[in-house]
C-alpha cells in the first residue's frame, strides 16, 4: 500500500516557479509506517495512472482553479482500486462535490497537518470516514515540510510558511474565512530550520507563503490604545515582536538569500518594519492594490488602502526601502470605467512597481462576493447542464470568462482591455526601463527573462481566450522556464549551520 500526493494541473511546464508547499507538508504528516509518499506535482508533469496500484491511497489537494482536473484524477485513481482522499480549500468549502464528482472516499475539511495521518490510519484499518474535520490547528502543530523529498532541478523558488490567517476581510478573498482572522504564527526556530535546510540544497530564493506577512498594523495598535484595550494591545505587540524576532534571524542567514512575501499596503507607513524587512533580505512583496479609486476600494471592503497620489507615494515607500513590489490590480469592479484601464497602467508605471498583475473580478467560493453573486443568479442558469454557480465544473472550452456583469462594459471588452494593459506593462520597452533596478547587464537580462516568463505563464492560464494563443504561451513558458531556473539556484551549502 503506497501513499500518493497529487497536485493537479491542466498545464505542465517541466519546471515550476514555486514549490507547492502543501505536498511536502502532508508528506511530513504521513505516519512513518507508510513509508515516504509518492509526490506528483502536475505543474511539472502529469500523473501516470499506472503508478497507482489497487490498495494505494491517493491524496489530492484542490483549490477552485484546479478542482475539475483534480476530480478527473480522483475518478482515475478510484477506478484503479485506490482509496481517494480530497483536501484543500475547495474541498473544505464543497466536501460533497469531491464525493460526487471526484471519486472521493473521504474528504478532509480544514488543515491537514493532523487529520491526514488519522485518515491514513483509518484507510489501513479499512474504516475511512466520509468527512474529517481538520479544523484550524494551532501554530505549534503546523508540520515542517519534508524538503528531503524534493525532486532535483525542478523548482526555482522554495516556499516556507511563517503565518496563517489574515485579520482583514476583503470581499473577494476567502483567506480570512477559511484560515481565520486570528494570525497563527510559527515559532521562528521552525521557520529558520526549514530555510537552512533549503539553502543547504541550493535554494536561495524563498517565498514566505503567508496570507499576510504584516498581520498587525500601526493603525490596529493605535486603535487598541485609544480604546484602552490593554489586553488587545498586549496581544498585538506580542505578534509584532515575533515578526521582528523572525526578521532579525532571517538577517543572519547567508547574504545571497532573497525572500519574497505578501503584505498589505499599510506596511508602507511603518518604516521600522520596512527597515527590518530590508535587513532580513525580504526584497520583494506582493501588495494587493486592487483599485486606484476610493469607490473601487470601498466596493471590495479594502478602504484601508490609499488611492490617487497618496497611493503612488505609499508604493514608492517600499522601493525607498529596497523592497520590490508586485502590485496586484482587479478589473471589473462596478466603479470601473473605460478610462480606469489607462489610469491603472499609468499608476503602475509611476509608482515604481517592479512587477504587476491585472486580474478580472471573479467570484471565488468562500468569499463575500461569491455569496452575493450566487444569490443573484437565476436557478435555471446552466451551461452544458452544470449550474452557473458551480462554474468550475463547466468544461473550460465553454466556460464563461466573466461572471459578474459590469454596468457599462461587456465581458469581451473587459477582457480585451485587460489584455492590452498586460501587453503594455510587459512590452519590451517597459521591461527594459524597469530593468534599471538591476545593477549588472547579466541581472538586467535575467530581469527581462523573468518578466517575460511571468507574463507568459499567466497568459497561458488566465486571460487568453483563444486556445492557439494559450498553447503558444504555454510552450514558450516551458521553453524559457528551464534557463530561468539557473538564474535562481545557487551552489548547495551542505554544511550550513542554523545561526545561533
Q: Which positions lie near ligand SF4, rule CB under 6 A?
A: 166, 168-170, 173, 175-176, 211-212, 264, 288
The angle at the Cα of 194, spanning 189 to 197, to the nearest 5 degrees, equals 125
Which alpha helices (H) appear in 185-333, and where do they start and end?
188-201, 218-226, 230-250, 271-279, 294-299, 308-320
Nearer Cβ to ligand SF4 (276/368): 368
Least distance to ligand SF4 from the beta carbon of 151, Å?
A: 30
Instruction: Tell me which residue of 391, 394, 383, 386 sits closest to 364, measured CA to CA.
Output: 391
Residue whose CB is less far from ligand SF4, 47 or 170? 170
Q: How far is the CB of 211 from ligand SF4 (least distance, A)?
A: 5
**DSSP character string of 404-450:** S--SS--HHHHHHHHHHHHHHHTSHHHHHHHGGGSSSHHHHHHHHHH
Cα(460)–Cα(483) distance, integer angstroms: 19
CB closer to ligand SF4 out of 307 and 456: 307
Nearer to ligand SF4 (CB atom), residue 212 or residue 389:
212
CB nearer to ligand SF4: give 43 or 264: 264
**Closest distance of CB 449 from ligand SF4, Å:** 29
**Grid-cell match 542554523, residue found:** 498
CB of 301 to ligand SF4, least distance (A): 8
Cα torsion at 299, 304, 305, 308 (round to 10°)? 80
Radius of gyration, alpha carbons of the chain: 22
Q: How far is the CB of 176 from ligand SF4 (least distance, A)?
A: 4
Q: How far is the CB of 144 from ligand SF4 (least distance, A)?
A: 23
Q: Which is nearer to ligand SF4, 74 or 167 (CB)?
A: 167
Look up cell 503602475; give the residue. Answer: 348
Q: Whose Cβ is closer to ligand SF4: residue 150's or residue 175's?
A: 175
Output the smallest distance, CB 300 to ligand SF4, in A.
8
- What are the distances in angstroms from CA 43 to CA 85, 155, 196? 20, 10, 25
Give the CA angle between residues 374, 379, 380 to the nearest 5°: 130
Amino acid at each position: 500500500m503506497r501513499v500518493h500526493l497529487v497536485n493537479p494541473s491542466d498545464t505542465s511546464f517541466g519546471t515550476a516557479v514555486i514549490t507547492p508547499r502543501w505536498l511536502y507538508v502532508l508528506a511530513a504528516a504521513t505516519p512513518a509506517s507508510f513509508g515516504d509518499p509518492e509526490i506528483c506535482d502536475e505543474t511539472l508533469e502529469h500523473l501516470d495512472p499506472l503508478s497507482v496500484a489497487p490498495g494505494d491511497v491517493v491524496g489530492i489537494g484542490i483549490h477552485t482553479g484546479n478542482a475539475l482536473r483534480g476530480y478527473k484524477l480522483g475518478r482515475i485513481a478510484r477506478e484503479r482500486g485506490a482509496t481517494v482522499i480530497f483536501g484543500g480549500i475547495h474541498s473544505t468549502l464543497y466536501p460533497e462535490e469531491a464525493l460526487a464528482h471526484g471519486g472521493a472516499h473521504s474528504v478532509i475539511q480544514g488543515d491537514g497537518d493532523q487529520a491526514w495521518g488519522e485518515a491514513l490510519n483509518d484507510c489501513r484499518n479499512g474504516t475511512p470516514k466520509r468527512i474529517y474535520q481538520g479544523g484550524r490547528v494551532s501554530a505549534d502543530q503546523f508540520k515542517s515540510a519534508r524538503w528531503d523529498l524534493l525532486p532535483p532541478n525542478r523548482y526555482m523558488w522554495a516556499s516556507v510558511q511563517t503565518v496563517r490567517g489574515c485579520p482583514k476581510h476583503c470581499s473577494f478573498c476567502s483567506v480570512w474565512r477559511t484560515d481565520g482572522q486570528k494570525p497563527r504564527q510559527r515559532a521562528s526556530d521552525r521557520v529558520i530550520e526549514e530555510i537552512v535546510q533549503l539553502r543547504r540544497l541550493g535554494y536561495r530564493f524563498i517565498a514566505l507563503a503567508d496570507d499576510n506577512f504584516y498581520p498587525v498594523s500601526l493603525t490596529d495598535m493605535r486603535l487598541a490604545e485609544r480604546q484602552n484595550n490593554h489586553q488587545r494591545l498586549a496581544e498585538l505587540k506580542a505578534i509584532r515582536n515575533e515578526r521582528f524576532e523572525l526578521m532579525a534571524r532571517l538577517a543572519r542567514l547567508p547574504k545571497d538569500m532573497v525572500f519574497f512575501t505578501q503584505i498589505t499596503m499599510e506596511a508602507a507607513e511603518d518604516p521600522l518594519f520596512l527597515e527590518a524587512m530590508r535587513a532580513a533580505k525580504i526584497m520583494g512583496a506582493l501588495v494587493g492594490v486592487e483599485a486606484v479609486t476610493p469607490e473601487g476600494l470601498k466596493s471590495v471592503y479594502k478602504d484601508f488602502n490609499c488611492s490617487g497620489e497618496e497611493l503612488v507615494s505609499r508604493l514608492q515607500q517600499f522601493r525607498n526601502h529596497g523592497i520590490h513590489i508586485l502590485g496586484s490590480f482587479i478589473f471589473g469592479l462596478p466603479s470601473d470605467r473605460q478610462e480606469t484601464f489607462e489610469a491603472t497602467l499609468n499608476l503602475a508605471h509611476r509608482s515604481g512597481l517592479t512587477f504587476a498583475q491585472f486580474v478580472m473580478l471573479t467570484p471565488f467560493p468562500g468569499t463575500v462576493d461569491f455569496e452575493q453573486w450566487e444569490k443573484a443568479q437565476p436557478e435555471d442558469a446552466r451551461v452544458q447542464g452544470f449550474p452557473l454557480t458551480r462554474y468550475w465544473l463547466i468544461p473550460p472550452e465553454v466556460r464563461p470568462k466573466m461572471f459578474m456583469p459590469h454596468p457599462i462594459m461587456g465581458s469581451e471588452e473587459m477582457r480585451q482591455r485587460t489584455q492590452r494593459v498586460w501587453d503594455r506593462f510587459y512590452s519590451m520597452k517597459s521591461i527594459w526601463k524597469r530593468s534599471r533596478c538591476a545593477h549588472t547587464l547579466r541581472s538586467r537580462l535575467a530581469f527581462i527573462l523573468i518578466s517575460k516568463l511571468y507574463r507568459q505563464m499567466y497568459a497561458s492560464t488566465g486571460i487568453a481566450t483563444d486556445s492557439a494563443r494559450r498553447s503558444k504561451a504555454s510552450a514558450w513558458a516551458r521553453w524559457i522556464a528551464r534557463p530561468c531556473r539557473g538564474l535562481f539556484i545557487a551552489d548547495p551549502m551542505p554544511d550550513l549551520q542554523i545561526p545561533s
